[in-house]
């Protein structure tokens, strides 16, 4: 059987982790995979995560299975964080192995019950297309962002979505757009929501960076308005970045509907789909999130640390945007974009020059992870871009 297989290329983004590690140069800079870093270049464990792990270690008395849908207390607390304290919508969730697991499960449900088609922005996180194709969905695209002018293409996006068929799914980034960082105003959200509701489309909202853009509530405001205005939605949540739990694979998928019974029916299908895939989700990360969200002192410490990270990213953005100029004048938008990523107008050959000559690492798309910069490195790295 194996002789029929051909070797698959490594995932280009994840491969960068190993290539960067192997580079012996002292001044190397990692602007690759989306992991938060501090000024020392470390990806620290949140203090509240360590404290929660200690509590779990002391108090957990069994490693037996929890429930097919995961831990309901975790799902309820995470829903409050994303959906808001007084959400008017009906939702039923399942715990998933990370945000990617949530997206795959959503895709399986769309294949089973929807039109089998999903609309994806150009550009989007590269793995979105991979996940949806692997689940057998047909992909249509809508314009989203022009890299050269660093501008959102909202009118073109809406024009494309008006051509979508009722029941088609539409992938929407909740905040901190990956890979562009382009923010949506409240008015932009209202216009997108209006087209989605009028056309009878089903939004699949990917929320993976809550807290890194406009704060915990600011980053969820758009999605909260959208799910309140449509009869059906799917909401994929990742805890990787917001809680720094990357390797713990912690996330959830919520079915949102205009009646609780409908949301519960959708959930029962998600549970059945998960059962034939990974059976039940891992627990450790969700136990940490549940402990933090359910313990006021840990919540205060975690949200404070997250806010410090958000402010560091915003400061890095402002100083990097100021340090770029000339050909890079449009990249002044980097200063007002949000979250970890921006997409720079560089060619793959220029990306390779930066990598090979100067030890500055990013994927060939030109996406940079702002968190990989250090304030102390901003002028030097901006100078390398300007010299291209």
Residue closer to ligand LMR by CB (options 12, 166) is 12
Residue closer to ligand LMR by CB (options 127, 353) is 127
State how far the Cα of 95 lies from the Cα of 171, in Å rounded to an integer: 20
Q: Where does residue 282 fall: left (phi above 0), alpha (psi -120 to 50 degrees), or beta otherwise?
A: beta
Residue closer to ligand LMR by CB (options 127, 295) is 127
176 binds ligand LMR (CB under 6 A): no
Residue closer to ligand LMR by CB (options 12, 27) is 12
State how far the Cα of 124 lies from the Cα of 127, in Å rounded to an integer: 8
Q: Quick one: which of 150, 178, 210, 250 contacts ligand LMR (CB under 6 A)?
A: 178
125 binds ligand LMR (CB under 6 A): yes
Q: Quick one: which of 87, 115, 127, 319 contacts ligand LMR (CB under 6 A)?
A: 127
Residue nearest to ligand LMR (CB): 34
Q: In the bound complex, what is the minimum distance in angstroms from residue 78's beta carbon to ligand LMR?
A: 18
Catalytic residue, chosen from 30, 71, 108, 206, is 206
* Cα atoms in the 13 Å half-sphere on the side-chain side of 243: 34
- DSSP strands (E only) in the chain: 29-30, 90-96, 117-122, 138-143, 145-146, 151-152, 169-173, 202-207, 232-238, 251-257, 341-343, 360-361, 367-369
Is 241 tagged catalytic? Answer: yes
Q: Quick one: which of 34, 70, 101, 211 contacts ligand LMR (CB under 6 A)?
A: 34
Residue 260 dihedral angles phi and psi, to the nearest 5°: -60, -35
365 binds ligand LMR (CB under 6 A): no
Residue closer to ligand LMR by CB (options 31, 157) is 31
State how far the Cα of 274 lies from the Cα of 276, in Å rounded to an integer: 5
Q: Identify which of 18, 44, 10, 3 has the alpha carbon closest to the alpha carbon of residue 371.
A: 44
State how far the Cα of 162 lies from the Cα of 167, in Å rounded to an integer: 12
Catalytic residue, chosen from 125, 189, 302, 328, is 125
Q: Would you call 336 exposed, middle or buried from its count of C-beta atoms within 10 A (0-12, 13-18, 19+)?
A: middle
48 binds ligand LMR (CB under 6 A): no
Is 208 tagged catalytic? Answer: yes
What length is written for the chain? 388
Catalytic residue, chosen from 48, 91, 106, 208, is 208
Q: In the bound complex, what is the minimum distance in angstroms from residue 31's beta carbon to ligand LMR?
A: 10
13 binds ligand LMR (CB under 6 A): yes
Counting residues that bind ligand LMR (by CB under 6 A) gives 6
**Contact residues for ligand LMR (CB under 6 A)?**
13, 33-34, 125, 127, 178
The catalytic residues are 125, 206, 208, 241
């Amino acid at each position: 059987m194996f002789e029929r297989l051909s070797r698959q290329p490594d995932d280009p983004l994840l491969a960068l982790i190993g290539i960067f590690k192997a580079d012996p140069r002292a001044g190397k800079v990692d602007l690759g995979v989306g992991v938060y870093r501090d000024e020392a270049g470390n990806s620290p464990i949140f203090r509240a995560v360590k404290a929660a792990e200690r509590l779990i270690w002391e108090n957990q008395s069994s490693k037996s299975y929890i429930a097919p849908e995961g831990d309901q207390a975790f799902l309820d607390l995470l829903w409050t964080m994303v959906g808001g304290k007084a959400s008017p919508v009906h939702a039923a969730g399942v715990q998933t192995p990370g945000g990617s697991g949530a997206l795959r499960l959503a895709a399986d449900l769309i294949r089973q019950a929807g039109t089998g088609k999903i609309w994806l922005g150009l550009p989007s996180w590269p793995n979105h297309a991979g996940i949806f194709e692997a689940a057998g969905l047909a992909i249509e695209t809508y314009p989203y962002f022009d890299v050269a002018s660093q501008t959102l293409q909202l009118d073109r996006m809406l024009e494309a979505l008006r051509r979508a068929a009722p029941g088609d799914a539409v992938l929407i980034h909740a905040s901190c757009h990956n890979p562009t960082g382009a923010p949506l105003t409240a008015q932009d959200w209202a216009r997108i929501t209006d087209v989605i509701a009028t056309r009878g489309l089903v939004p699949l909202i990917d929320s993976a960076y809550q807290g890194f853009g406009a704060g915990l509530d600011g980053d969820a405001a758009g999605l909260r308005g959208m799910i309140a205005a449509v009869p059906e939605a799917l909401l994929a949540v990742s805890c990787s970045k917001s809680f720094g739990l990357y390797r713990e694979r912690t996330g959830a998928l919520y079915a949102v509907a205009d009646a609780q019974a409908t949301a519960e029916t959708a959930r029962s299908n998600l549970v059945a789909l998960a059962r034939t895939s990974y059976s039940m989700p891992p627990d450790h990360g969700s136990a940490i999130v549940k402990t933090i969200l359910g313990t006021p002192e840990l919540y205060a410490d975690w949200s404070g640390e997250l806010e410090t990270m958000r402010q560091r990213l915003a400061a890095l953005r402002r100083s990097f945007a100021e340090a770029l100029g000339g050909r890079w004048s449009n990249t002044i938008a980097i200063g007002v974009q949000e979250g970890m990523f921006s997409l720079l107008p560089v060619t793959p050959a220029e990306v390779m020059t930066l990598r090979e000559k100067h030890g500055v690492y990013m994927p060939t798309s030109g996406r940079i992870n702002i968190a990989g910069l250090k304030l102390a490195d901003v002028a030097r790295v901006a100078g390398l871009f300007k010299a291209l």
